[in-house]
Amino acid sequence: MNKNTSIFPPKIYTLFAILIFLGSLWIRMEDITDLPLDFHPTRQLFSALKARGIYYQDAPNIPEWQRDMAIHQWKLQATIEPEFVERLAVFAYDKAGEENLSLPRIFSALFWIIGGIFLFFTAKRLVSPDGALLTASVYLYLPYGVFASRSFQPDPLMMMLIAAFIWALAGWESQNQKAFNRAKVDTEFLPSNASSKKHLLKKLFETQWTWAILAGLFGGFAILIKMTAVFFIAGTAIVTVLKAKSLKGALKDAQVWTIAILALLPTTLYFFYGIVLEGFLTQQFGGRFFPEMLIQPSFYLRWGLKLDIVVGYQLIALSLIGTLLFPKKKNGVLHGLWLGYIFYGLYFNYHFST
């Protein structure tokens, strides 16, 4: 059977895909109105206090003492990343006419599921239609992910944007490979008319630009929403680009520079504003990296134990086997994600092992 076809008939395949995503939404809506105590409650309280303070600034019929206290609690919280999810929650509060913590949790669940859609189409491109079903199922139904995706914090939105970046970068890689193969084909296999050849190559080039711009935008917003995304964005981009081009060729490629600039520009501007102009970010980058832990065997042991809790050793083993068996022409994205994850863990070593 062709790798681009499924073992299921088209209608059954479409039905399975729809049921996978609808089922994942149903699971996440279960008890969504409960207090957010099921996953990192301290972090969710952090966002909840911020959202309440922003909302109470202008909300009607709020006692002044309560308004003042809410704003004070908001201002006391440290500012690390932009308050995007908090302000989205405030928008929902305004529309609902009340503060309701289930609303931002619903947004988080939707962000996670949309990320699953991007991963589904990425896996369909890189692996196969059936591989896409499996990828989406693992991503959407992993127990840890179900709880994490319902939490009121920026991470689900970051995950959606990382998944969108991966989808766009895989599209860019695919179009780049097509353009490369087209350039190598003997002229006897190309249209005999020179203008037709030129038009075909131009169309491929324009499509590459579309994917490059999308990758840069999605990557840039992912890093802006939560800085830790930079490890996965940078790792995936570097490995994918260097598998597609030589280092010299990459440094001369306008599309590569476009991806890099768009990915770094939003956070660079935010840092300039937060560090140079306002100063509220100057104290937010300490206490995250402890070099001495890198030579402690206990650190790697605790890292492994955490992986077992979150994912499970069986799934990790299958992931490693899948990585080794992945087609070499398409493994840039996958290897880049692994590289980003490893550097992420080495830098946030204290967080990973505690």
Is pLDDT of 218 > 70? yes
Domain match, 230 and 344 both: no
CA distances from 5 to 139, 243, 254 (A): 22, 27, 35
Most confident of 93-107, 189-203, 278-292, 296-310: 93-107
Domain match, 240 and 175 both: yes
Q: What is the mean pLDDT of the chain?
A: 90
Across 150-164, 203-217, 250-264, 273-287, least confident range: 273-287
Residue 165, Cβ density class (10 Å: 0-12 exposed, 13-18 middle, ≥19 buried):
buried
Most confident of 74-78, 210-214, 301-305, 345-349: 210-214
Domain match, 276 and 342 both: no
Residue 351 is predicted with a pLDDT of: 81
Residue 212 is predicted with a pLDDT of: 96
Rounded percentage of the chain residues whose pLDDT exceeds 70:
89
Domain match, 134 and 207 both: no
Domain match, 275 and 295 both: no
Name the token pair of 136: 């989406």
Residue 207 lies in a domain: yes
Domain match, 2 and 149 both: yes
Please, which pLDDT band fits residue 280 given cuts at 50, 70 and 90?
A: confident
Residue 159 lies in a domain: no
- Any residues with CB less than 8 A from the CB of 343 and at least 6 apart, and which? 231, 235
Domain match, 205 and 294 both: no
User: How far apart are alpha carbons 211 and 256 in whole angstroms?
Assistant: 11
Residue 158 lies in a domain: no
- Any residues with CB less than 8 A from the CB of 74 and at least 6 apart, and which? 49, 50, 52, 53, 54
Domain match, 205 and 296 both: no
Q: If you average pLDDT over residues 188-212, what whole number do you get?
A: 67
- Greatest extent of the chain over all pairs of C-alpha atoms, in Å: 81
Residue 1 is predicted with a pLDDT of: 44
Please, which pLDDT band fits residue 250 given cuts at 50, 70 and 90?
A: very high
- DSSP annotation of 100: -
Residue 187 is predicted with a pLDDT of: 45
- Any residues with CB less than 8 A from the CB of 79 and at least 6 apart, and which? 274, 280, 281, 284
Last-in-domain residue among 285, 308, 343: 285
Residue 160 lies in a domain: no
Structural domain that includes position 336: 286-354
Q: Which residue has the higher pLDDT, 105 or 185?
A: 105
User: Roughly what angle, to the nearest 10 degrees, separates helices 84-96 and 102-126?
Assistant: 130
What is the residue type of 340?
A: G
User: How far apart are alpha carbons 168 and 219 in whole angstroms?
Assistant: 9
Last-in-domain residue among 153, 185, 218: 153
Query: pLDDT tens-digit profile of 104-135?
Result: 999 999 999 999 999 999 999 999 999 999 99
241 within 8 A of 250, measured Cβ to Cβ: yes
Please, which pLDDT band fits residue 186 given cuts at 50, 70 and 90?
A: very low
Long-range CB contacts for residues 38-45, cutoff 8 Å, separation at least 24: 38/147, 38/150, 39/147, 39/148, 39/150, 39/151, 40/151, 40/153, 43/151, 43/153, 44/151, 44/152, 44/153
- Any residues with CB less than 8 A from the CB of 86 and at least 6 apart, and which? 47, 50, 51, 54, 104
Please, which pLDDT band fits residue 232 given cuts at 50, 70 and 90?
A: very high
Last-in-domain residue among 268, 285, 302: 285
Domain match, 203 and 317 both: no
Domain match, 11 and 146 both: yes
Query: pLDDT tens-digit profile of 7-59?
Result: 999 999 999 999 999 999 999 999 999 999 999 999 999 999 999 999 999 99
Q: If you average pLDDT over residues 178-202, what whole number do you get?
A: 56
Domain match, 269 and 171 both: yes
Residue 82 lies in a domain: yes
Q: Give the number of other CB atoms < 10 A from CB of residue 178.
A: 13
Residue 352 is predicted with a pLDDT of: 77
Is pLDDT of 96 > 50? yes
Domain count for the chain: 3
Residue 87 is predicted with a pLDDT of: 97
Residue 352 lies in a domain: yes
In terms of phi and psi (left: phi > 0; alpha: psi -120 to 50; beta: otherwise), the region of 113 is alpha
Query: pLDDT tens-digit profile of 287-346?
Result: 567 888 999 999 999 999 999 999 999 999 999 999 998 888 888 999 999 999 999 999
State the pTM of this model. Answer: 0.92
User: How far apart are alpha carbons 294 and 199 in whole angstroms?
Assistant: 54
User: How far apart are alpha carbons 217 and 167 in whole angstroms?
Assistant: 12
Residue 346 lies in a domain: yes
Q: If you average pLDDT over residues 89-110, what whole number do you get?
A: 97
Please, which pLDDT band fits residue 183 given cuts at 50, 70 and 90?
A: low
Domain match, 55 and 112 both: yes
Residue 200 lies in a domain: yes
